[in-house]
Structures are given as structure tokens and as C-alpha cells.
Amino acid sequence: MSEPYDQHLTRRDAVTRLAAAGLAAGAVGGGALFFHDRRRAEASAPTIPDWRVPAAPHYPPAAVAFGPDPAANVRRAVAALGGMERFVRPGESVLIKPNVGWDRIPEQAANTDPEVVAELVRLCRAAGARRVVVTDISCNDPRRCFARSGISDAASAAGAEVIESHRLTLVPAALTGLAAGLEVIEELFKADRVINVPVVKHHSLSRVTLGMKNWYGVLGAGRNRLHQSIDRSIAELGAAFRPTLTVIDATRVLLRSGPQGGSLNDVKAVNAVAAGTDPVLCDAWGAAQLGHSPADLPFLELAEQRGLGHADLKAVRQV
């Protein structure tokens, strides 16, 4: 048995006890009120930015250069549009979106030619870009795709920050239509300018895969449902993503068994690069390299109806 407690509670003790109890009650009550029905602030999904520069009627909507050197073709085509200075201001951050979807070497024409990508990086840096990012969400293992396509080495050497797919962060975006609810790569929201660099390939469902279809590569899980209405989804993506520049790589084109190809028999060397601000026209030109006219392609028609551009091949200036 221990001593009985001190009978007399001093006033100080009483005040301390009451204060302690009051503080505890206040803390609990305050905490409860703060947390009560507090949903974490759901940031509403942001809309995709519009990366276009103002229209300049004295430049053609698209230009194409033929020649043995892909880098030179890029320079000539972009120069015909006003030079990269028209598109990239000093200090801006640029995202270059090539097709790095497949575990293939450049000769198989499944991915964008690495020299085309590297030259675009160089041009952007020369125009004063503070940061150039090259990325894509590959279908095969991204480490192999970025390495074997040659894009990783070439772009890094030119001064770009190459981000392989598994290092990308995906965030919600306010996409509508078939792609509603899909996430996109966060890099899109960090870029001031975006250059879309597809390679010209055959595709079993949409017949060709070019610039507007290249946007599949920025979408997260769930993009494998878009094929259920592929032409419509391509047009919707073309409307959602408005790049600064579309560069169609036709150094080598894939005639059959796309979008992966494999056999060199499916590849034809066209040795051209087209660049333009009209994505519909660029895609129409790319399709023409595979022998399709614009009328053959439902997604082009849908895109034109949405006002994304004009598939008037005569407007492409050859330099």
C-alpha cells in the first residue's frame, strides 16, 4: 500500500489539470473539424495546352526536302517554314515526340530515324531552347527500344534529355471522346513547344500510322481500347494535341506489316523529310509516300471535318 494522495489540490494544480484537459479536447475537436469530410482537393484534370505559333501566311503549310542526308533534309525543310527560330524562342523548353515504339534497328523503319531526331534537337538548341526532351511510351521494352532505335545515343549526343518510358510520370488530363479518362505524360505540361516526329508506316487497321496517330505514344494505360474506333480516335487526338511543328520522317518508310515491320523487304528508302504546321497536310503527304490518296483515309476526312487542316497536297512546297 502506498501513501494516500495529497488531499488538497492546489489552485495551480487544478488550473493546470483543467487547462490540459481543455487543450486535449481542443486539439481533438479542432483536428476533427479540420478533417471532417475533407476530400483531398481534387485538382480538375488540366486541358492539353496548344503549342502552336501564330499562323504566317507567307510561309507554306508544309515543306519537303529530298536528299541522301536526313539531317540536311531536316534543315532545308524547316528553313522553308521560316527556320526553327520561328517556332522556338530562346529559353523555351521543347518536347520532341518521335516514334520509339518498337525494339527495331533504324533500317527496319519501325521507329523515327535517329539522325532526324538528332538534327531537330540541334536546331532547337541553336534557336536557344533551354531544355530539349526526347521521349515516347514504347510498346516493347523501352530500354531496348530507345537503344536499338539509335535515338537514345543520337539525341543525347545532340544535347537532348532522353527520358525512357519507364521513367515517365503520367497525370490525368481533360481528354474527351474515346480517350476520356486516359492519362498523359507529365512532360507535356512542362513543355513550351512540342514537335511531333512520326515515321511513315503501314498499319493494318488505320491503313497508315503517321503524325496524329503518333499521339498514342503520350497516352497511358487504356490506349489499347482506342482501336475499337480507330479513325475516330485518331481525329480526336489530332484535335486534342496541337503541336508546334509536325515533321514527317520519310527517310525510310514501312510499306507492309506495320506498325512493327521486321523484314527489310517491307522497307523502302524514300530519303525525304517533310515538315509543316498543318498536321492533316503532313499526314496526307506521308500517306502519299505509301501510295494512298487522302480520300482513302477516313481519319483524314474526320480530321478535316474538325477543322484541323487541309489535305491539299499541292500546298506542300518542295525544297
Partner 1 sequence: MSWTRRVRVLYQGFFLVLFLWLLARLAAGDGRDFPYTSFFHIDPLAAVGVTFAAGTLPGPLIWAVALILLTIVFGRVFCGWICPLGTLQQLASWLLSPRSRRESLHVNRYRRWYALKTYILAALLAAALAGSLQTGLLDPLALLARGLASGLWPMLPGGRPVPGGWLAATLLLAIVLASRFIPRLFCRAFCPLGALLGIFARFALFRIQRTGEACTSCSLCTFACQGADEPLGEHRVAECHVCLNCTDSCKEGVLRYRFLAPTAPAPAKPDLSRRYLLGSTLGALVAAPLLQAAGGGRGTARAELLRPPGALAEQEFLQRCIKCSLCQQACPTNALHPAIAVAGVEGFWTPVLIPRRGWCEFACTRCGEVCPTGAITELTTARKTGLDGAPAVRIGTAFVDHGRCLPWAMATPCIVCEEMCPTSPKAIWLEEVVERGRDGRPVRLQRPRVDPQRCVGCGICEHRCPVGELAAIRVSSVGESRDPLNRMIAAVPT
Q: Residue 28 or residue 295: which is nearer to partner 1 going by CB?
A: 28
As beta bridge partners, residue 199 has 249
Which residue from 111, 117, 102, 107 is spatially nearest to 70, judged by alpha carbons?
117
State in angstroms the smallest separation of the CB of 3 from partner 1. Answer: 9
Q: Residue 6 or residue 55: which is nearer to partner 1 going by CB?
A: 6
Q: Residue 88 or residue 234: which is nearer to partner 1 going by CB?
A: 234
State in angstroms the smallest separation of the CB of 200 from partner 1. Answer: 26
State in angstroms the smallest separation of the CB of 239 from partner 1. Answer: 12
Q: Residue 36 or residue 167: which is nearer to partner 1 going by CB?
A: 36
- Taking the alpha carbons of 208, 212, 214, 219 in that order, is the dihedral positive or negative? negative
C-alpha cell at 47: 486541358
Which pairs count as long-range contacts for 291-297, CB under 8 Å and 24+ apart, including other chains?
A: 292/207, 292/208, 296/207, 297/206, 297/207, 297/208, 297/231
Q: Residue 33 or residue 56: which is nearer to partner 1 going by CB?
A: 33
Q: How far from 251 is each of 110, 182, 247, 318, CA to CA, in Å?
A: 12, 32, 12, 15
How far is residue 192's CA from residue 29's CA, in Å, rounded to a whole number? 47
State in angstroms the smallest separation of the CB of 26 from partner 1. Answer: 10
State in angstroms the smallest separation of the CB of 219 from partner 1. Answer: 12
C-alpha cell at 176: 474527351
State in angstroms the smallest separation of the CB of 241 from partner 1. Answer: 17
How far is residue 313's CA from residue 289's CA, in Å, rounded to a whole number? 12
Q: Residue 17 or residue 166: which is nearer to partner 1 going by CB?
A: 17
Grid-cell match 518498337, residue found = 102
How far is residue 217's CA from residue 220's CA, in Å, rounded to a whole number? 8
State in angstroms the smallest separation of the CB of 170 from partner 1. Answer: 11
Q: Residue 247 or residue 303: which is nearer to partner 1 going by CB?
A: 303
First to last CA, the chain: 105
Q: Which residues form the interface with partner 1 (CB under 8 A)? A: 1-2, 4-9, 13-14, 17-18, 20-21, 24-25, 28-29, 31-32, 35-40, 176-181, 221-222, 225-226, 228-229, 232-233
